[in-house]
Structure 1
Amino acid sequence: MTRPEPSLARELDAALSWWQAAGVTHDFTDDATAWLADATSLAAEASPSAARAKPVDAGSQQAQIAARNTPVSPAEPPRPARRDLLGESPPADLAGFRDWWMTAPALGTANTFPRIAPRGTAGAALMVLVPQPEEGDRERLLDGPQGRLLANIIAATGLDEDAVYIASALPCHTPMADLSALAAGGMDAVTAHHVALAAPQRVLVLGTALTPMLGATDANGLREINHNSGTLPVMVSETLEAMMDMPRLKARFWRRWMEWSASR
């Protein structure tokens, strides 16, 4: 028994079924051609209303394509509105500042961790400013590994730790703190007032992200802070945490410290 020769219609139907099963639905040449478009869309394209549609302007079409291909820069998060955190009656001395630091509602940056007071006395030979307390601090500022590193640094400088005023720019440990935004929101004025009340002879800032709290620094991280009593020399370096993670930063710190100390 011989098989009947397939008809042309059956061959075309088999070919179209094969291409459709393979996921090929268009013939891409200069223009896309819908081989397997449904009857509804073909009828819509052939309708009189479609024929009367206004042709797309070439220039407008190119502009739309360019707009689609232009990368969109992510919008910057809005900066907090600047506030007068010190109020009309700012603390007049360090004792008053410590009380205000521990209780002022406007300073709340993280409710999970307790506020930690600065330590030291006014007129210290050196003021050390760090971004924030350590995560484990509960009663004493820098009471963990960072504090031990700082104690070793102070001892190596030849200073007595009692002659150093140690403070943080934020009252409590604040994960992922945006120091630049907080400075713009008014914490820079708080820091400036804190430094003025402490009245140290020099200021060591451990954290390059703290520069917005102080203003711009030069290329070497050195500057002076102006206040009512005059100017204070300032050195800005990496954080204690960074120096613990990358020992080479300790060597860099010491080189800059020796240069800074020799110039004062």
Structure 2
Amino acid sequence: MGADQTIDWRNTAASALDWWHEAGVDTLVDDVPRDWFTAPEPLVVPSAAPVAPVVAPSAMPTLLADFLAWRSSAEVPEADWSGVSLAAVGPADATVMVLVDCPDRDDGDAGALLSGASGRLLDKMLAAIGLTRDEVHLAAVCAKRPTAGRIQSEVEARLSEIAKHHIGLVAPKRLLLLGNAASRAILGTELQGARGRLHGFNHKTGETGSGSASGEASSETGVVASFHPRFLIEKPAAKAEAWKDLQMLMRGLTSQEGVR
């Protein structure tokens, strides 16, 4: 009898056309005749775009005087920030180094770190342990004050590296970290978890150890984390805890009197 004469050829053709369309065929004929026996042209794969080399941060100066000059150069994270860059001050061979987070709001006008109320309280804290500001090396993690006084997370690692290098150039026997940002930069932990013990910091390798540290080894600095003076001004009740921190800082180095 031959083929089934009941097939709906229109639906069959439409179904086939739909299948070819799904397969990516969008035309039935070309504009010019095609030789189906011609070998296809080789596929040309474009070459990958050259990858820009990763530029490592330039090496930091190995002499303190050169480092302090470099600290306000165009190579530091704060170079494009607004404000005044404030250099560290104090003896290059100080026994005690003090590291804060950043300049206070009015420090730029005075041209010195901790020039206002925070600085006056710091002077009293130092006097309580038999020191003056001229005897300590005072520095900040940020040479300029960041927006809203908070260090941006994207530059924390580089600023930490710079601060540790700075400590290595001074090589103090004791380091006082004032505030949360300073604690994170050197100890890698929040102030609340860092307080209450003397940390060991190898100022030659930049490595931090947990537990107590004698600070007597030539490459070891004893580190104490405490409250920033601006916090103590707002929370005077914390001064008793700050005094314990100062006693720990100087234990084994000199005798001390109570905080005034």
| 1:134 partnered with 2:131 | no
User: How large is the Cα RMSD of the aligned pairs?
Assistant: 2.3
Letter in structure 1 aligned against 2:225: V
Letter in structure 2 aligned against 1:226: N
| 1:261 partnered with 2:234 | no
For the residue of structure 2 that corresponds to 1:103, the secondary structure is: coil
Whether the 8 Å contact between 1:123 and 1:200 is mirrored in structure 2 is: yes
Mapped partners of 2:179, 2:55: distance in 1:
24
Task: Using the TM superposition, give the Cα deviation of residue 176 of structure 1 relative to its aligned residue in structure 2, in angstroms.
Answer: 4.2
- Where is the helix percentage greater, Structure 1 or Structure 2? 1
| 1:98 partnered with 2:87 | no
Mapped partners of 1:103, 1:161: distance in 2:
26
2:160 to 188, 194, 206: 188
Aligned identity (percent) is 29
Mapped partners of 2:202, 2:75: distance in 1:
28
Task: Using the TM superposition, give the Cα deviation of residue 171 of structure 1 relative to its aligned residue in structure 2, in angstroms.
Answer: 0.7
Mapped partners of 2:195, 2:112: distance in 1:
34
| 1:225 partnered with 2:201 | yes
| Count of aligned pairs | 180
1:144 to 116, 123, 137: 116
Q: Deviations over 1:6-50 (max 9, x none)?
A: xxxxxxxxxxxxxxxxxxxxxxxxxxxxxxxxxxxxxxxxxxxxx
For the residue of structure 2 that corresponds to 1:166, the secondary structure is: strand
Task: Using the TM superposition, give the Cα deviation of residue 94 of structure 1 relative to its aligned residue in structure 2, in angstroms.
Answer: 1.4
| 1:215 partnered with 2:187 | yes
1:236 to 208, 218, 225: 225
Task: Using the TM superposition, give the Cα deviation of residue 222 of structure 1 relative to its aligned residue in structure 2, in angstroms.
Answer: 3.2
Counterpart in the other structure of 1:246:
235
Letter in structure 2 aligned against 1:214: I
Change (3 A) 1:137 1:107: same
Segment drifting more, 112-121 vs 213-222: 213-222
What runs of 5+ residues in structure 2 fail to find an aligned partner?
1-53, 205-217, 254-260
* TM-score, normalisation: structure 2: 0.63
Whether the 8 Å contact between 1:180 and 1:212 is mirrored in structure 2 is: no
| 1:197 partnered with 2:173 | no
Mapped partners of 1:213, 1:83: distance in 2:
23
For the residue of structure 2 that corresponds to 1:234, the secondary structure is: strand
Whether the 8 Å contact between 1:180 and 1:209 is mirrored in structure 2 is: no
Counterpart in the other structure of 1:121:
91
For the residue of structure 2 that corresponds to 1:249, the secondary structure is: helix
Which residues of 2 match residues 33-48 of structure 1 at below 5 A? none
